Structure 1
Amino acid sequence: MSSNIQIHDIVITEQLSDRSYRNRNADLEKQAFQQLAKQSSYGAQAILNALCDLTLSLCDADSSGVSLLQVVDGEDGFTWNAMAGSMASYVGGRAPRHHSPCGYCLERGAAQLYSYPERFFEWMRLVGKPIVEGMVIPLYGKDKNAIGTIWMISHRDGHQFDRYDLQIISIFANHASAALRMQELY
């Protein structure tokens, strides 16, 4: 952990309320819901992959992923179960639970927006691409237990996420969580 940078230096969630809000695109949202519902019949992995693809298209993200909590070799952490965009090649990778944007999101029990998170979470530098902004939204299983997160990343200077991104992905995260529960995974 960097001695100069603290978590509050990279968490910028409060800035969402000051950003302009894009207008909803009801037709695009309807198509996205239909796509997610269609993928539900193909199993959990199809749901997760569709969620990542929808995140890219609806939020103009450069990378997206679903990180699920799993214990591997006795270590509690997040496994990158599905990814899309420029970081898709990292699918199957792992992140620590207690020193990661996903872990911080679950500790807070709410979506979080980060600015250049690799300044605090140094292990993220291994990706080799700048992470200008990252938004992380919790996923819940049975009995409202956290099972992981969905996240989106912008690698481009000047591209910022907004409240619409948070709203639409939160809705899709809820639907994906319900579909996963129906698959009896969590």
Structure 2
Amino acid sequence: MKTLDPTCGETGLEVIDIKDSSEYTARRIHVRDMATQMEGMRRIAHAFVERPETVLQELVNAAVELCQADSAGISIERPDHPDQDFYHWVATAGEYSGFLDAVLPRYPSACGVCLERGRPQLFRVGQRFFDLLGVTAPLITDGILLPWQADETRGTIFIMAHGRDEAFDKNDCRMMEVLADFAAMGIRQQGLQKRLTEQASAAAAAAMANDLAHKINNPLQSLTNVLYLAQERPEELGARALVEQASGDLKKLSSLVQELLALPYRNSR
């Protein structure tokens, strides 16, 4: 399998655009089971509606099952991180399930090649790549890698075989294109949910702050009145009464201020 990027072979990566591979388009590997495909899609749809936080994991689980892959994963590009921690694996399944939350460098990277080309890619990963990363993992003897984008967030979804040289065909690529669209939808949905949660937290914090502000006003007003009397008409109140009243108001005020100061901490957890 040749690569369009001459540097990939030096790093143990082989990445080729699927549209440039006549060998790939001639493959006829899997017999499709419509019942299995429908069940996989049903589980994904259920996750979108009932448990959106599990959507990405359901997608890689479905990819393994529907494409008869040995492993699958979803990566997210992190442009605000250094190059050595650029790709975050946010979902994994199969033999690579133990690599959940792994971070990979910006280079060398099959994900980077895929995102640069913006189309489905065939890829293989040899021992040289894992040696460069200092990682022990099954070699990738055949794989499909697809890009996705949700607003400003980009990433890839991929399936892998760890012993078969020809594990996937063009129908697997079509299935993965559907799952890539679902991945983008899942990321967008999770981002929206996060924003709504943050807005709800901010609204709750504002309501609490407003309530505390009203509570603070009472002892503060009382304390102001006491201090005014102490200054203007000290004969109307004895010294002990002034001290006791002021002390009580100060304690209430201190307690309420501490609650107000704790609000950002509570809502950041």
* Alignment TM class, shorter chain as reference: 0.7 to 0.9
Which is bigger in relative contact order (C-alpha 8 A, separation at least 6)?
1
- 3-state DSSP of counterpart to 1:10: strand
> TM-score with structure 2 length normalisation?
0.59
Cα deviation for residue 159 of structure 1 reads 4.4
Structure 1 residues 135-171: Cα deviation after superposition (integer angstroms, max 9, x where no partner): 11112102xx551111111001344211111110111
Correspondent of 2:60 among 35, 49, 52: 52
Correspondent of 1:97 among 93, 99, 106: 106
Mapping for residues 119-158 of structure 1, pairs under 5 Å:
119=128, 123=132, 126-142=135-151, 145=152, 147-158=154-165
Structure 1 residues 97-128: Cα deviation after superposition (integer angstroms, max 9, x where no partner): 24201111000001111134555675467233
Q: How far apart, CA to CA, are the structure 1 residues paired with 2:179 and 2:42?
A: 11
1:84 maps onto 2:93 in alignment: yes
How big is the alpha-carbon RMSD for the aligned residues of Structure 1 and Structure 2?
2.9
Structure 1 residues 64-98: Cα deviation after superposition (integer angstroms, max 9, x where no partner): 11111124654461101111111111111111224
Count of residues in Structure 1 that have an aligned counterpart in Structure 2: 182
Q: Indicate if the aligned counterparts of 1:138 and 1:146 stay in contact, CA closer than 8 A.
A: no
Residue 120 and residue 134 in structure 1: after superposition, are their counterparts in 2 closer, same or farther (change >3 A)?
same
Letter in 2 for 1:179: G
Task: Pick the structure with more helix per residue.
Answer: 2
Residue 104 and residue 177 in structure 1: after superposition, are their counterparts in 2 closer, same or farther (change >3 A)?
same
User: Which residue does the alignment assign to 2:72?
Assistant: 64
Q: How far apart, CA to CA, are the structure 2 residues paired with 1:3 and 1:42?
A: 42
User: Which residue does the alignment assign to 2:44?
Assistant: 36
1:165 maps onto 2:169 in alignment: no
- 3-state DSSP of counterpart to 2:119: coil
Task: Pick the structure with more strand per residue.
Answer: 1
Q: Indicate if the aligned counterparts of 2:142 and 2:165 stay in contact, CA closer than 8 A.
A: no
Gaps of 5+ in 1: none
Letter in 2 for 1:5: G
Bigger shift: residues 103-112 or 11-20:
11-20
User: Which residue does the alignment assign to 2:124?
Assistant: 115
Larger radius of gyration: 2
- 3-state DSSP of counterpart to 2:44: helix
> TM-score with structure 1 length normalisation?
0.82
Cα deviation for residue 11 of structure 1 reads 2.6
Gaps of 5+ in 2: 1-5, 195-269
- 3-state DSSP of counterpart to 1:183: helix
The sequence identity of aligned pairs, in percent, is 27
